[in-house]
Amino acid sequence: MIFFDKVSKIYAPGSAALENVTLTIEPGEFISVVGQSGAGKSTLLKLLLAEEKPSEGNVFFESLNMSDLKLAELSSVRRRIGTVFQDFRLLPNKTAYENIAFAMEVAGQLDENIVSDVPQVLELVGLVDKAWHFPHELSGGEKQRVAIARAIVNRPDVVIADEPTGNLDPVNTWEIVKLLAKINELGTVIVLATHNRDIINALGKRVVTLEKGRVIRDEKEGKYVL
């Protein structure tokens, strides 16, 4: 489904954020990307979202070369990718329901679909009773569940979770991880970037380890080894 073909990203001469990365992500996979700060995790995710273009090599989403897409085509592909961030990025003046609905509005969804789908994802993430709460009225874990609901409401093929538990306590961390695993079981690809060793070791899923921009380990049932 996603293929990095000998991809390098160079921001300054002699300094490669990614170097000769070849990587395939299959439909339905749950893949964790680990590495120390500066290893290239964020660059990898930016290339997948086509926020950056490779200096060398190509990134494919199915048969589409992300670097060759025109803006309208790129927007269409990005709608198939949901994103979850460490800092939630919720709109503070909108309720949980409205934050999720807004993602559907931006994607051009019909009002009837919004009315139908938003309650469904709120139920999936366990926040039906918090639908009309504003972000400042929610805990960190609840905010992240709203962010996940927003990421999946348009039924993406892939969800990218960039350090989604970085601001959460251990209890909420595991709730978010279990939720991501549940979404994966429903068929969505999960690409998780995290520093959390316990999460990686408990998941028993595929782990790709980056070091200085290179893939140094790619294990089907991997552990956090740095």
C-alpha angle 129-183-193 in degrees, rounded to nearest 5: 110
**Which tokens sit at 157?**
């093929």
pLDDT exceeds 80 at position 144: yes
Q: What is the mean pLDDT of the chain?
A: 94
What domains appear along the chain, each with residue ranges and CATH number?
28-53+70-219 (3.40.50.300)
90 has pLDDT over 80: yes
Q: What distance in Å separates the CA atoms of residue 130 and residue 141, rounded to the nearest whole number?
A: 12
Is pTM, for the whole model, over 0.85? yes
**pLDDT of 69-83, one tens digit each?**
998 899 899 999 999
Tens of pLDDT, residue by residue over 147-200, are 999 999 999 999 999 999 988 999 999 999 999 999 999 999 999 999 889 999
pLDDT tens digit string along 27-66? 999 999 999 888 999 999 999 999 999 999 999 999 999 9
DSSP string, 28-53: T-EEEEE-STTSSHHHHHHHHTTSS-
- Please indicate whether residue 190 or residue 13 has the higher confidence score (pLDDT): 190
In this prediction, residue 224 has a pLDDT band, given cuts at 50, 70 and 90, of: confident
Does 14 score more than 80 pLDDT? no
CA dist 170 and 122 (Å) reads 22
123-141 pLDDT, tens digit per residue, is 999 999 999 999 999 999 9
Asked whether the predicted pLDDT for residue 223 surpasses 90, the reply is no
Task: Tell me how far apart the alpha carbons of residues 219 and 187 are, in angstroms, rounded to a whole number.
Answer: 21
